[in-house]
Structure 1
Amino acid sequence: MTSIFHAADANQLLADLPVAERDAFIATCETVQLTFGEVLYQPTQQVTHAYFPIDSFISQIAILVDSRLEVAMAGREGMLGISLVLGVEEAPLLALVQGEGQALRINAANFQRLLLSSPVLHQRLKRYLYVVMNQLANSAACIHFHRIEERLARWLLMTHDRAKTNTLQLTHEFLAMMLGVRRAGITLAAIALQTRGLIRYHRGEIIIIDRQGLIEASCKCYADDCALYSKMLIL
């Protein structure tokens, strides 16, 4: 298992913290293994822990009656449990592990107490909260205005960023659920991206062939999300 010191450096929100803040954080958290399909929170459930992914990533999913739609994603660039920064201990969304791997986990009460003596971390997390708010707003607009092919390209890029591999284990059924569209729409969009030589799809496996081409095929939302994160958090 990754050493806890290396783990703190691997998550971009924790990297380069002042030594005192970094040591205090490490002393109050643990490294855990997250498994694919694991549910970390249910909507309205009490948030008992905050998670800082190392090489895992987590989908945050809105549930409406019998429908599900991914509205945000957290990997090593972010965290899960950002509502704790506001003093809110209720989960707003379903949190589902999409990419298995390790994460740093910290008890909610310890996390909130730690923020009082960690001004740099606290400031970073407030900026990250702003990024997440924009990501949620952009997702709403993207779903309404952009074509499925553009949205699929964006989603694949977001997943690729966090998975750190060109090979993604994804079925059309899973993609349809994540994007909130019919399976037939995903099939047509995937065929279009494959025809353009951007991806290769076979039996639940999507391979990224041309990342730059995928960026060009994506809606502008992807570039806007990356630019905002850099502006707010890469200082």
Structure 2
Amino acid sequence: MNSLPTLPLDAAFAGNRLLASLSAAERELLAEHMTVISLEPGERVLTAGGLVDRSLFPFDGLMVSMITELSGGRSVEVASIGKEGAVGGMVSSGVAPAFTNAVVQIGGRAASIPMAVLQSAKQASPHLQELFCRYGDALLAQVMQSVACNSFHPIEARAARWLLHAQDRVGGDRLALTQESLASLLGVQRTTVNAVARVLGEQGLIANRRGAIQVVDRDGLEAAACECYARVEGHFGAILGPDGRGRTTPSTD
């Protein structure tokens, strides 16, 4: 994890959908104590049972997976977070233990804000408090839908759904992710994902690149995905507004 100069702060406020909704006054509550950091794939930003002492607001293509681990080395992703949201401390008041691990899947940058600063800002701004509570609701919806999806939907549809979510969070067609990583996130064998990727590739929906997956046909991938993608995105829009910002236009107060 590398800290960067304060110059990218404007990029953070513009690149993260939650931060982009803040008024000038609300930005001032956070900016003085905000640091932009660069994160690489595989870095763990939260550890289950460890204290959450900061919140991260991804932008610049960063995607973080919330991963639940079971005995025997088994694990599965329960939620993914990118430029639409934040990692850690959205609903809790102050420092609290994390329930799952949060691991960087696709590298990029994030704005890091100490929990104490974020909590003070919530108390000073009713909009901030409401915004983060609404985002917490949207994130919980994603987790609940993932439970249903993992229980009932075929792996082909689940993989298509995950790739759509990843593309939304990264903001581009190229996903710097290997099939082995995707298999781990979906909780299946690599051979299973290899077969699914081959089918999606033969249908012209994706293309495998060295160390990456390229989304070729977005509409076709949506048709191949299960209903869970549309349900989660629809709820996100209903909770946080059509632009994902918690209100129809940024505040000017």
Unpaired stretches in structure 2, ≥5 consecutive residues: 242-246, 248-253
Distance across 1 between alignment mates of 2:168 and 2:47: 25
Structure 1: which amino acid aligns with 2:18? L
Check if 1:60 corresponds to 2:77.
no
CA RMSD between the two structures: 1.6
Distance across 2 between alignment mates of 1:214 and 1:35: 27
Distance across 2 between alignment mates of 1:97 and 1:219: 25
Q: Are the equivalent residues in 2 in contact too, given 1:5–1:26 (CA < 8 A)?
A: no
Distance across 2 between alignment mates of 1:159 and 1:127: 21
Between 169-178 and 44-53, report the one with greater CA deviation. Answer: 169-178
Cross-structure match for 1:224: 231
Describe the shift of the 1:109–1:154 C-alpha distance in structure 2 as closer, same or farther (beyond 3 A).
same
Q: Are the equivalent residues in 1 in contact too, given 2:106–2:177 (CA < 8 A)?
A: no
Check if 1:137 corresponds to 2:144.
yes
In the TM superposition, what whole-angstrom CA distance separates every residue of 1:186-230 from its partner, at most 9, and x where no partner exists? 122112111211111244432111001000100011111111111
Describe the shift of the 1:202–1:13 C-alpha distance in structure 2 as closer, same or farther (beyond 3 A).
closer
Structure 2: which amino acid aligns with 1:201? N
Shift of 1:185: 1.5
Check if 1:128 corresponds to 2:135.
yes
Distance across 1 between alignment mates of 2:117 and 2:93: 14
Task: Give runs of ≥4 in structure 1 deviating > 3 Å.
Answer: 82-88
Q: Which of 174, 180, 183 is the matching residue for 1:173?
A: 180
Structure 2: which amino acid aligns with 1:8? F
Cross-structure match for 2:9: 4
Between 17-26 and 142-151, report the one with greater CA deviation. Answer: 17-26
Q: Which of 208, 213, 235 is the matching residue for 1:206?
A: 213
Distance across 2 between alignment mates of 1:182 and 1:168: 20
Between 5-14 and 89-98, report the one with greater CA deviation. Answer: 5-14
Describe the shift of the 1:18–1:170 C-alpha distance in structure 2 as closer, same or farther (beyond 3 A).
closer
In the TM superposition, what whole-angstrom CA distance separates every residue of 1:161-204 from its partner, at most 9, and x where no partner exists? 12222222322221111000112221221121112111112444
TM-score using structure 2 length: 0.88
Cross-structure match for 2:251: none
Identity %: 37
Distance across 2 between alignment mates of 1:6 and 1:200: 30
Distance across 2 between alignment mates of 1:21 and 1:78: 17
Cross-structure match for 2:56: 51
TM-score using structure 1 length: 0.94
Shift of 1:112: 1.5
In the TM superposition, what whole-angstrom CA distance separates every residue of 1:115-138 from its partner, at most 9, and x where no partner exists? 111211110110011111111110
In the TM superposition, what whole-angstrom CA distance separates every residue of 1:95-129 from its partner, at most 9, and x where no partner exists? 11112111110111222222111211110110011
2:67 match: secondary structure: strand
Describe the shift of the 1:21–1:202 C-alpha distance in structure 2 as closer, same or farther (beyond 3 A).
closer
Distance across 1 between alignment mates of 2:236 and 2:101: 23
Cross-structure match for 1:16: 21
Cross-structure match for 1:34: 39
Unpaired stretches in structure 1, ≥5 consecutive residues: none
Q: Are the equivalent residues in 2 in contact too, given 1:49–1:105 (CA < 8 A)?
A: yes
Distance across 2 between alignment mates of 1:86 and 1:111: 9
Q: Are the equivalent residues in 2 in contact too, given 1:84–1:112 (CA < 8 A)?
A: no
Describe the shift of the 1:232–1:189 C-alpha distance in structure 2 as closer, same or farther (beyond 3 A).
same
1:156 match: secondary structure: helix
Shift of 1:159: 1.0
